[in-house]
Every structure is written in structure tokens, then in C-alpha cells.
Amino acid sequence: MYKSQLEINMELPKILDHTQIETKWYKHWLDKKYFNSVPDEREPYTIVIPPPNVTGVLHMGHMLNYTIQDVLIRKARMQGKNACWVPGTDHASIATEAKVVNLLKEQGITKKDITREQFLEHAWQWKEKYGGIILKQLRSLGASCDWNRTRFTMDDDLSDAVIDVFIDLHKKGKIYRGVRMVNWDPKGLTAVSDEEVIHKEVNSKLFYVRYKIENTTDE
């Protein structure tokens, strides 16, 4: 008994090859620019991705966080909003410096033997390598980011904006330069917080917050 063409086309493989399916459709989405966002009359809905550090690769915590963001941004698109998910990476200067210093050490180079400009050149090379890996991982997950808006926290305009904010806050007396340091790292020659130096277990409390639903008695 011969099968009809429809029956043949409807046959599904016993084992799903996700690499072919996901790659195919993600490319289709990108080609159609489904994730791109241009301001228009629609209600805007924007999420700026908490930028992952360029010191390594994504971990489970990133996955859980980005999955929630992706669900929210896709829901907003389906609701007709102008949804924009902005991707990016963070320089994580202290941790990145440690990574670059170790890399140079493997090459027989010490930080004190090179100029600031030469060190920054190595740091940017590190960023291009590991920042690129992180963004590729996000794409592999199917993240619906507007990739045309990809940013890095050390981009000139972003870095300048941070400096401007610090100057403004200093002029307003919101922040100040003191004579004390939290902790001094004699190896990195920089100040770091207790969270990055001292680890201790403490007995604390876990708080639950109940939110009342407007116009109801429910929580």
C-alpha cells in the first residue's frame, strides 16, 4: 500500500534535531528583522538587559533571568507594543583586570612592564573574545534582542555618560571622596567591597511581601 504525499510530508523524525530547527527559525526571525525596534506611535515597552560580565560565559542564573525577560518582551510584542530588548555586556573592571593579568602572565608579561595603553589593548582583545562568546550564547538561546542596539559599558558615549552622572552627583553632595577604603587589594592595587573579599555565614531573616490587588480584597 502506497502512502500519499501528504502522509509522507506529515511524518516526523523519532528524534528531534533541535540544532536544525532552532537555527533555521532564528535565522528567519533575524532576516525578517522581527526583533528590531524603531520608535513610532505604538506604546513603547523596553527592557535593558542587565549586562553579563565579559569575564567568562553565561551560567544558569543568566539563563533564568533572560528567559523571564524574553517571555515579557515577546508578550509585549504580541500585545501590539513597540517592544525593544537591548542587549549588552559589562566590563567588570576588577575581575576583568585579574583575568587579563593572568593571561599576560602566561605569556611572560607583567602588568608593570607595559604601558596603560598596551594593557587596555589586551583588555579589549579579551572583551572581543569573551563578550562575543556571551552574545553568541544568547543567540543560541533564541533571545529576541534588537542586536542592532548591542552595547558595551566601556563604549565611549556610555562611559562619558557615567562620568557626567558622577560629577553631577558630586556637585549635589550625594557622593564624596573619603579618606577611608573598604578593603585594599595589595595584588590588584585597588579598593574592593566586603562582598568581594570577606565571606561569612550569618543567621538572618527571610521576608515575604504581600501585595494587595487593586479594587479587591485579594493578595
pLDDT tens digits for 58-69?
Answer: 888 888 999 999
d(CA 27, CA 204): 48
Is 219 part of any domain? no
Domain hosting 111: range is 17-195
Is 201 part of any domain? no
Q: Cα dihedral sign for 26, 32, 36, 40?
A: negative
Is 85 part of any domain? yes
Its pTM stands at 0.69
Q: Which residues contact 111 (CB under 8 A, 6 or more apart)?
A: 101, 104, 119
Is 213 part of any domain? no
pLDDT bin (cut points 50, 70, 90) of residue 77 is: very high
Q: Which residues contact 73 (CB under 8 A, 6 or more apart)?
A: 45, 47, 83, 84, 85, 144
**Cell numbers describing residue 166:** 558622577
- Phi-psi group of 2: left, alpha or beta (phi > 0 → left; psi -120 to 50 → alpha; rest → beta): beta
Is 33 part of any domain? yes
Is residue 198's pLDDT more than 70? Answer: no
Is 217 part of any domain? no
Is 43 part of any domain? yes
Phi, psi of 57 (to 5 degrees): -125, 170
pLDDT bin (cut points 50, 70, 90) of residue 1 is: very low
Is residue 193's pLDDT more than 80? Answer: no
Half-sphere exposure in the Cβ direction for 65 (13 Å, CA):
12
Count the domains in the chain: 1
Is residue 113's pLDDT more than 80? Answer: yes
d(CA 100, CA 102): 5
Provide the CATH number for the domain around residue 111: 3.40.50.620
What per-residue confidence (pLDDT) applies to 128? 80
d(CA 44, CA 119): 41
Is 159 part of any domain? yes
**Cell numbers describing residue 41:** 506611535
